[in-house]
Structure 1
Amino acid sequence: MKKLLYIIFAVIGSLMFIQCSDWTEMEPTFTEPVNINGEEYYKALREYKKTKHPIVFGWYSEWTGTGINMNNQLRGIPDSMDIVSLWGGAFNLTEAQKSDLKEVREKKGTRILYCQHIMDIGRSHTPSSVEKDHMVDGKQYGSLEEAMAAYWGWYGNHGDTSVEGVEKAIRKYARVIIDSINKYQYDGFDIDYEPNYGYGGNISSYPDRMEILIDELSKEFGPKSGTGRIFMVDGEPQTLNTASGPLLDYYVIQAYYSSGDADLDNRFNKLLRKFGSVEDEATILRKTVWCEDFEKHKGDGGPRFTTRDGVVTYSLKGMALYYRPEMDTRIGGVGAYRFNLCRPINDYFFMREVIQVLNPAKH
């Protein structure tokens, strides 16, 4: 029955470029009125975002909180987007950014995450006096590596290189990341994890060390924390240790330039092989978020994509139509890298459309 429902979604979805009203006969999960800014509307919006549903996600770049036509403001994104990761500029916020952040989080219920590449210990959270001057507690060290080891307790071949020493240093690093996120009250952490695509390091290239980092972070973020804050890994979650999987809310897959469901099936099967011993297939599917690259495809929503049912569309929409045969479970969601770049071009047309594909509303 669920497969039939997805086939219906796919067929109707192929017509959505022509007429949005094709969705009006479907039971809505949330109705988003046009030009309504009253508290009842925002209350309904916040309540909707608390329900279990496929999410729409994106990485937001060039955020200033100011600018014409809200091109660089979180206020300008579609109200029904669920989660946004800040691609740079998450700390040392201006008053304009603080105001912008408060509005989308408190009024609209949008979850805003801090995003960071994990590579070497200390990345993005080491004082400049250590990184640039090699000074720690008034003592100057002869190299960056020695200074980093003095500050964190371990770095590469320096400091306490025992198993216990490395673990202690990694957990210290995780706590500093947590403190930085807490300072701005972000709704979670998005680890950009791409060790095989140019972002290897003395943590990221070692799954056992990543497991330590994720374990410590999971005390504050993710399904095991009890805080309700989001914990996700994007890039290559399938290369993590199996034990790390249940500590994450979402596996965010950079399925850039995907051509169809055959490609997504291959990607999903990697997740299934990695985490299938600790999570069932339905759970893995509910946690999977497919993402397209809007740095290159902000004007068309992605390349030509063919679903398993023969529907031809753009990739982001095809990702939203994804299902697993014989499974009564929906995909976790879809998203786009630097989705904000499409604001001045088409006012987030493709993001708005996939919101309707995943969670159709009456018009």
Structure 2
Amino acid sequence: MKNFKYISSLVLLCAGVLFCGCSKMTEVENEPYDHIGGYNTMNNAESEKYYADLRAYKQQAVNYGRPVAFGWYSNWSPAGTYRRGYLTSMPDSMDIVSMWSGAPNRFNITPEQKKDKEFVQKVKGTKLLEVTLLSYIGKGRTPDSVYTAVEKQAEKEGWANDQARVEEAKKKARWKFWGYEGVAGSDNHKQALARFAKALCDSLVANDWDGYDIDWEIGSGVFDMDGTLSTNADLVYLVKEMNKYIGPKSDPEHKGHRLICIDGHFGGLTEDLDGYVDYWIDQAYGRTTHFDYYGVDPKTIITTDNFESSFKSGGQLLRQAKSMPSKGYKGGVGAYRFDNDYDNTPNYKWMRQAIQINQQVFKERMGQTTQP
């Protein structure tokens, strides 16, 4: 494999790059951006032009105009002078980032996180997703008051030390809150799923996240299932309900929408949810993706490696970036816990190269075909 430059030909970085403006850029549609900037980079006409061009580059990926750069971010802590935990320290060409560290709401987000988040979203045009390993109705959206009421009752009645009883009582209280009466597959079950779908989307919009990444790994160490969201049929119903508010079906005129992505064990979902999911994210850890296997347009599939374990060597990321389906082009490339790549030299060494390769093979493929 050829050696690719770590620094994009688009941006000639000057000394003290972290906090200075960027140089003149040309052919912005042809190369990804590779500048890392602080908050004070947008302080003159030149840097404003840079960020305007960067946002235009991000718009090229809308409606699958090109493959994206994706990653799960795992250590969001934007404070102090050490910039590893800043979203603003990611390569500018990152298109979509799933917040594995958590997606705080407007009430518990720190001022530093809010500033970091807004700069990346509004100035750099990067989409930030909430991500949850979904396994029961109400996960991440059930008010704390539902559970504290149970804890207070347990204390009052003397069974607070009976953990099994407390957890069972909390489950029943959660079911009652969402209106679920305990019969899986019933109309009542579907109604509860629909309420949960709306709550997921309402909160997403209220807290200004750009989409929802459903981590679907039922059967692989998911120990908090309660029977309300534990089958493919349950998830299919939930995602279709979510598409009333976000996702591709919510946007028939392609004016722009918050994304729905699914990662994990999605092979049994693609047929029923084709057209309801923006991106299927393949956890192709240690291998390349078999795009034809899933039976959906390869433009909707992002292939990823595991940088929890292979960030030092780069694992298979560059190979994944270079890979393409037999026809058309892939949805993108990325890595789990890609922020670990910050510790390499240069920062984000492997992700930078993957971004370059990802766009290069796309341009080569488009030069060979008339249709995407």
Q: Same fold (TM over 0.5)?
A: yes
Aligned length: 312
Q: Name the structure 1 match of 2:70.
A: 57
- Deviation sequence 1:81-122 (CA, Å, 0-9, x none): 100010133112101100000100010000011111110111
Deviates further, 67-76 or 111-120: 67-76
Give 3-state SS (helix, strand or coil) of 1:143's partner: helix
Q: Name the structure 1 match of 2:129.
A: 113
**Residue 205 of structure 1: which of 207, 217, 230 is its match?**
230
Q: Name the structure 2 match of 1:10.
A: none
For residues 27 and 131 of structure 1, what CA distance do their matches in structure 2 show?
Answer: 52
- Deviation sequence 1:59-98 (CA, Å, 0-9, x none): 1112122233311110000001100010133112101100
Contact kept, 8 Å, 1:73 with 1:100, in 2: the verdict is yes
Letter in 2 for 1:149: W
- Deviation sequence 1:21-40 (CA, Å, 0-9, x none): 9999x996236375784111
Q: Name the structure 1 match of 2:358.
A: 358
Give 3-state SS (helix, strand or coil) of 2:70's partner: strand
Per the TM alignment, residue 20 of structure 1 is displaced from its structure 2 partner at its CA by 6.2
Letter in 2 for 1:298: F
Q: Name the structure 1 match of 2:24.
A: none
Which structure: greater strand fraction? 1
Change in Cα spacing, 1:220 to 1:29, as seen in structure 2 (3 Å) is farther
Q: Name the structure 1 match of 2:116.
A: 100
Matches within 5 A, 1:260-271: 261=288, 264-265=289-290, 268-271=291-294
Contact kept, 8 Å, 1:153 with 1:160, in 2: the verdict is no
For residues 162 and 299 of structure 1, what CA distance do their matches in structure 2 show?
Answer: 46
The reply on whether 1:47 has 2:48 as its aligned counterpart is no
Give 3-state SS (helix, strand or coil) of 2:325's partner: coil
The reply on whether 1:183 has 2:206 as its aligned counterpart is yes
**Residue 262 of structure 2: which of 233, 246, 261 is its match?**
233
Matches within 5 A, 1:125-144: 125-134=141-150, 143-144=169-170
Q: Name the structure 1 match of 2:15.
A: none
Per the TM alignment, residue 345 of structure 1 is displaced from its structure 2 partner at its CA by 2.8
For residues 182 and 22 of structure 1, what CA distance do their matches in structure 2 show?
Answer: 34
Identity of aligned residues (%): 31
For residues 65 and 162 of structure 1, what CA distance do their matches in structure 2 show?
Answer: 44
Give 3-state SS (helix, strand or coil) of 2:209's partner: coil
Q: Which runs of 4+ in 1 moved over 3 A?
A: 19-24, 30-37, 158-162
| Alignment root-mean-square deviation, CA | 3.0
For residues 110 and 211 of structure 2, what CA distance do their matches in structure 1 show?
Answer: 20
Matches within 5 A, 1:253-264: 253-258=282-287, 261=288, 264=289
- Deviation sequence 1:112-151 (CA, Å, 0-9, x none): 1111111011112212232354389xxx997223212211
Q: Name the structure 2 match of 1:66.
A: 79
Q: Name the structure 1 match of 2:161.
A: none
Contact kept, 8 Å, 1:28 with 1:360, in 2: the verdict is no
For residues 298 and 348 of structure 2, what CA distance do their matches in structure 1 show?
Answer: 26
The reply on whether 1:216 has 2:241 as its aligned counterpart is yes
The reply on whether 1:248 has 2:277 as its aligned counterpart is yes
For residues 122 and 35 of structure 2, what CA distance do their matches in structure 1 show?
Answer: 20
Contact kept, 8 Å, 2:175 with 2:182, in 1: the verdict is yes
Q: Name the structure 1 match of 2:89.
A: 76
Change in Cα spacing, 1:239 to 1:132, as seen in structure 2 (3 Å) is farther
Matches within 5 A, 1:5-44: 14-16=1-3, 29-30=30-31, 32=33, 37=41, 38-44=47-53
Q: Name the structure 2 match of 1:150.
A: 176
TM-score by length of 2: 0.76
Letter in 1 for 2:2: L
For residues 339 and 99 of structure 2, what CA distance do their matches in structure 1 show?
Answer: 11
Per the TM alignment, residue 153 of structure 1 is displaced from its structure 2 partner at its CA by 1.3
For residues 28 and 189 of structure 2, what CA distance do their matches in structure 1 show?
Answer: 53
Contact kept, 8 Å, 1:60 with 1:86, in 2: the verdict is yes
Contact kept, 8 Å, 2:67 with 2:332, in 1: the verdict is yes
For residues 352 and 22 of structure 1, what CA distance do their matches in structure 2 show?
Answer: 9
TM-score by length of 1: 0.78
For residues 98 and 185 of structure 2, what CA distance do their matches in structure 1 show?
Answer: 35
Change in Cα spacing, 1:28 to 1:236, as seen in structure 2 (3 Å) is same
Contact kept, 8 Å, 1:193 with 1:199, in 2: the verdict is no
For residues 66 and 130 of structure 1, what CA distance do their matches in structure 2 show?
Answer: 33
Letter in 1 for 2:178: W
Q: Name the structure 1 match of 2:102.
A: 89
Deviates further, 199-208 or 31-40: 31-40
Give 3-state SS (helix, strand or coil) of 2:82's partner: helix
Letter in 2 for 1:356: Q
Contact kept, 8 Å, 1:118 with 1:203, in 2: the verdict is no
Change in Cα spacing, 1:114 to 1:20, as seen in structure 2 (3 Å) is closer
For residues 88 and 244 of structure 1, what CA distance do their matches in structure 2 show?
Answer: 27
**Residue 299 of structure 1: which of 309, 312, 318 is its match?**
312
Letter in 2 for 1:192: D
Contact kept, 8 Å, 1:74 with 1:100, in 2: the verdict is yes
